[in-house]
Structure 1
Amino acid sequence: MLASTAACFWLIDADGTIVYVSPEMLAWLGVDEEITAPIAAAIIPDPVMWEDGATHRGHLTRRLHVPAAPSSPDQTTTQEQTRATATNPSSPVREATAHFVKLAARADEETETATTNGPLILGCLGDFTDDADVPWTLWFGEQGVRESAKLDEQIAKFRARQSRRANMLLAGTSPASRQLRSRVELACRIRCHLSITGPNGCGANDLASMMHHASSPNEALVCLDASLMDAELLEAYASPVVAELRENQHTTGTLILDRLGEMPTDGQSRLREWLEMWPARLRLIGILDSESTASSPLIEPLADAMQLYPVEIPDLSERADDLELMTSGLLRSTRFSRETLDLLRSYPWPGQWEELTAAIQFANEMATGERIGREHLPLAIRSYRPSQTQTALVDTNGCQTTIGPRPPSPRDFKLESLDATLAEYEASLIARAMEAADGNKAEAARRLGISRSRLLRKLSELS
């Protein structure tokens, strides 16, 4: 950036001809209008400015050694003599730092189209500073600085809240909590591929973000739902990281892939290509559902990467003794009553960590005093009753006693795995449609109410 207000500048054509010189520059050179060949040779940059694809990106900085103006117009000097004069300390030489910037191609005044002369080169003198040293107010203005500071503050608050939630997830003195905490603390100190396995809603995203920012705080990061990422979508949504890796050979990046076990095969193939292209620069943090990893195996390179450093988040039912410490850390300034703590310990928490944090946030908003009671918890939790162990119904009517099976209750409903049940039901529907259509995929897709391409994708996943 040019910090000086001096208007010492000149324009040079692509063939090396000086097109224009400002009056201030003429005064600095010590000439009236005509620029002699030695001076012209000194202020014209190297031909590298016209080369396409050069690393300078259209900007060069050069130290000028301009000889003194000749005493008479007849005095001429070759370019070799000019360079020799510039390197001779005894010669009268005017020195300065110049910046050269490549501009757009020249346009013909009559046709308003670009001429064949190529781009113009702007040369200028002045006091220059690096972009990093220029105050933000000069770049963005006062309003831009205030908005940027506000955005930075919001990002800092979000990361602090996310880190606090992750630390509360690690709290506890049970063996399961201590083992999880030791694994996460080591992952925060190293940069390698990570896999986080646990039940749905276990807080894996909070841990993944915390481990990334602790081990590589300035690294580019993109978080994706891998179950939706085929090859094309992955290329588009991961571009902030992938583009940096392609443009700069020293850049590193991280992809956090939620539900990695459900990622389409072509998306996994694209990930494999990237891992082979940037084996040490691209890091993957995969989040796997412990209930679906066996039914959705990953392709070989991704499976090996996920085995490098696995972190397993235990079920909350295994950490019942830690719930008091975990929930107390999520509260603002209130405390739980003893009845409420007993209820929190007995509740099975099917939604895991996400259900727990949502319940604590709800209780914080509902409570008005210093204590959180049973009535401040969500309805599903405060109305929970432990399941009865009685498996038979005993009916006494006068002197007659009847023993029989206990009638089913809505509270008895339970599935081993919702994803596995839905996948099995979906496979049965596809099989019935294919049978009804005599193997015609287009007809089977019409009977299922989906597109043919989607049916083909489903069939490839089932095979």
Structure 2
Amino acid sequence: MANRILLVEDTETLSMVYSQALIRYGHDVTCAYSLADARAALEDFTPKLLLLDLQLPDGDGLELLEQVQAEHPDLRVIVITANGSIYRAVQAMRAGAFDFLVKPFDDARFVNAVQNALSSLQDVGSSSVAANPADTDLESLGFEGFIGKSEAMGEIYRMIRSIGRSTATVFITGESGTGKDLCARAIHANSTRAQKTFVPLNCAAIPRDLLESEVFGHLKGSFTGALSDKPGAAAIADGGTLFLDEICEMDLSLQTKLLRFLQTSTIQPVGASRPKSVDVRIVCATNRDPLAEVRAGRFREDLYYRLHVVPIHMPPLRDRPDDVLDIAQSSLLSYAEEEGKHFTGFDTETIDILRSYPWPGNVRQLLNVIRNVVVLHEGPLVQRSMLPGDMHAPVGISQVGVPSPIASNIENTVPPAPNGTDAKNNPVAALVGLPLAEVERDFIEATIAHCEGSIPRAAKVLGLSPSTVYRKLESWNNVEKTA
């Protein structure tokens, strides 16, 4: 039958509650109370969906999951676990489960998970055709806005294809500029939620006291300045995907509320008296080491395990030098068309520099370099002399190995200090004569580099709010675009 479901739950009262909820929605449910009962049922028929409790009286539900994956690879499995066993649910997801539910859960969360799993079966035919390597060679063509045919990126493309059919939470890690936002959008575009809303939210760019309102919304009059009702990002993303960028910058108090939201699939806007159910897939990202943040007490361990279900690590550009040339060539032609220039490629010496440069800012830095070349020079070939100075001349190096314009100015361009000491020993005097705006930008960018790309950490060092730093970076980027 189209919606035949096998429910494996050893507690008979819970089994009755779950099965009655499914029957009300027109599903045909067969109940099993142990591993032995479940195996016997699978010999009689193959269901469309298996609801599997992990803690069974005669064994571990993961054993049955592994057996099902081997014998019935197209069967969708949703695992059910107790509140204190999130890690085991994560293990199940990595073993091939479609989704997981943490007891206790309400009917809405339960039925939504079941409907999503069954809906994904309807799309498997078209998805499998699109994913057929004979039809689409992802490694050679790039994918969903990505450019690159390296082995590392090919693996990323395959993971995104595979993740798309699931509703599991995805945790993206990687250095700044590696394409975590692009990865999140690609996951959404390849999911069953592609026709619904994708809502990105940068947890570091929003002031701490407004973050709860931005995520969950608020009612008119709930706090000073709340002049009207406002839906939060979670409500706007209902049916779609909510992307929480820089998740490790989220305040601990809000992490608790986010965990409750993940467990119950309900939100309660600021000032509201009743919660509201939403169906949202969570994708999150960070440029930090999330486990290190957990150990340091800045990120909740239970939230980490709830989010870190399907991890994706975006490789840095220095680990895929062949992709550098593909990205550079594509962006060169694109920017040249925008600017009305006639660039066609790179000379041999420039190619060698692009391949060997460490690219601490990754793809974002590479794109900025190419745009700088196109705006300031004429073609047809990009030559070494056209590249920014820090790529072909000795420069000062910051403490994390990132070229620092300030250090370069201190060492190379400023005359000796009045007291006769070398500029290196008198950095304040070394800055005399430079425009204030240039000093500010160089210092902020060098501080961000020293903080390994973390805007919030750099803002703390500078004594600024993260939103101020983001605004300055955006204004500089806009000036470059209009230069």
TM over 0.5, shorter chain: no
Tell me which structure has the larger Cα radius of gyration: 1
The TM-score bracket by the shorter chain reads 0.3 to 0.5
